[in-house]
Structure 1
Amino acid sequence: MKIGIGSDHNAYEMKENLKDYMVELGYEVVDYGCQDACSEVDYPQVAFDVANDINENKLDRGVLVCGTGIGVAIAAGKVPGIRAALCHDTYSAERAQKSNNAQILTMGAKVIGIEPAKNIVKVYLESEFPGGNSARKVQQIMDKEKEFLKGVSI
């Protein structure tokens, strides 16, 4: 499985730890930045890049981190077709995939520590979307998104 990972400067250390951990678990990991903790990096572009590459089938899933995880979740969710889930516990991470087929997991480096984040990533990446009743609900979300986008001019 090919995983994109990205962060802003607030979450650089967590991103680096998670990247190494996912490699240890056997995943192919693509780093979208930021490249150090000193440069101020705006998270929206990092989130857009990961989300776009998921849509283009260059990645299977993504993990995005910023200070709270909220900003990257909102930014990634603006990309049509993307479902990003903010999770700070393993149960939510499992359900993000099993119930919502979320392609992107987001977390906040100022909210949780590295070890809990590793556990959350592991559970998220090991979880699979089973379809069933959840597929119907996810399709309703995607249909509504398409409906909204029909009338949008940017």
Structure 2
Amino acid sequence: MSLSIVPFESHYATRFKDLNVAWLEKYFYVEPMDTILLENCEANIMDKGGYIFFAQYNEEIVGCFAFLKVGDRTYELGKMAVDPNYQGLKIGQALLVFAIEHAKQNKWGKLILYSSTKLENALYIYRKYGFKEVEIEKNLPYARSDIKMELLLI
């Protein structure tokens, strides 16, 4: 398997949106906040101090995730998706491992994520890599989010 994790480039913006919309429509639906982030990911993620990375498998972009800046040393891990044709190859886990290592190398204090208790496999993997459930806020921008997890990095 020839898998590498590559940083955002402008020409990947459409692929970022397409991967996420496919995932959202498979499990949930596209919500207003998704549209805001996905329609212009450069302005609404990158230009606000965030990052986007992609999984490249045999020269094809097959997965992605984003770091959304929450605070000085806190980032939200979100918008993780893998092309359905490439699921089962542990690409999502490779993205997660890369994300954690990237956060540690940059000396971030904490990663947070929001998910759904419907996604048992994802929650299992998050726990496997050290994420712990914490209290979730009210009035979140996503109806699907019913669990919040965090990983302390320091």
Instruction: Give TM-score scaled by structure 2 length.
Output: 0.33
Structure (1 or 2) with the greater strand fraction: 2
Higher helix share: 1
